[in-house]
Amino acid sequence: MTPYGVFGGPNKLIEAYAEWRDDRLAKYDAGVLMEADSKADFPEFLFGIIRTALWHGYERIAPSFDRYSTIENAPDFRERRMRGLNALTGIGYVGDHGEYPGMRRTERPSAALAVDTYGGVYSLTRQLIINDDTGELLNRNPADMGFNAGNFVAETIVALVESGGLLAPDGAAFFSAGRGNSGTAPLSEDAVADAITALETQRDDDGYRIRIRANLLMVQNARQEMIARRIVNSTTTGATVNYTGGTAGIGSAYMDKGLDNPVQGILGGDQLLREVFLNDVTDWYLFADPSAVPAFAIGFLNGERRPFIGLKNPEVRNALGPGVDPYTFELDSVDFKVRLDFGVAAVDPRGAYKSVVAG
The pLDDT of residue 285 is above 70:
yes
How would residue 205 be classed by pLDDT, with cut points 50, 70 and 90?
A: confident
Task: Choose between 244 and 105: higher pLDDT.
Answer: 105
Task: Tell me 240's DSSP state.
Answer: P
Mean pLDDT, the chain, as a whole number?
77
Task: Report the distance separating Cα 263 and Cα 246, nearest Å.
Answer: 26
Burial class (CB in 10 A: 0-12, 13-18, 19+), 343: buried
* Spatial contact of 295 and 221, defined as CB atoms under 8 Å apart: no
**Those residues with Cβ within 8 angstroms of residue 170's Cβ, 6 or more apart along the chain or in another chain:** 108, 109
- What are the tens digits of pLDDT across the range 13-31? 445 445 544 554 454 444 4
Overall residue count recorded for the chain in this entry? 359
Q: Which of 40-49, 93-102, 133-142 has the lowest mean pLDDT?
A: 40-49
Report the pLDDT value the prediction gives residue 112, as an integer from 0 to 100: 92
Burial class (CB in 10 A: 0-12, 13-18, 19+), 111: buried
The pLDDT of residue 221 is above 90:
yes
Max mean pLDDT range (2-11, 101-110, 295-304): 295-304
The pLDDT of residue 281 is above 50:
yes
Task: Choose between 189 and 245: higher pLDDT.
Answer: 189
How would residue 118 be classed by pLDDT, with cut points 50, 70 and 90?
A: very high
- What are the tens digits of pLDDT across the range 141-178? 677 778 888 889 999 999 999 997 899 999 999 999 99
Average pLDDT over residues 325-333: 67
Report the pLDDT value the prediction gives residue 121, as an integer from 0 to 100: 84
- What are the tens digits of pLDDT across the range 47-57? 665 666 676 77
Among candidates 217, 223, 215, 179, which has minimal Cα distance to 198?
179
The pLDDT of residue 337 is above 60:
yes
The pLDDT of residue 271 is above 50:
yes
Query: Can you state the percent helix, strand and coil of the chain, rounding each to 5?
Result: 30, 25, 45
Task: Choose between 125 and 252: higher pLDDT.
Answer: 125
The pLDDT of residue 104 is above 60:
yes
Task: Report the distance separating Cα 32 and Cα 116, nearest Å.
Answer: 41
Among candidates 52, 338, 305, which has minimal Cα distance to 157?
305
Q: What type of residue is 310? A: G
Q: Report how far apart, in Å, the C-alpha atoms of 14 and of each of 2, 105, 194, 256 are.
A: 15, 80, 74, 79
Task: Report the distance separating Cα 228 and Cα 272, nearest Å.
Answer: 8
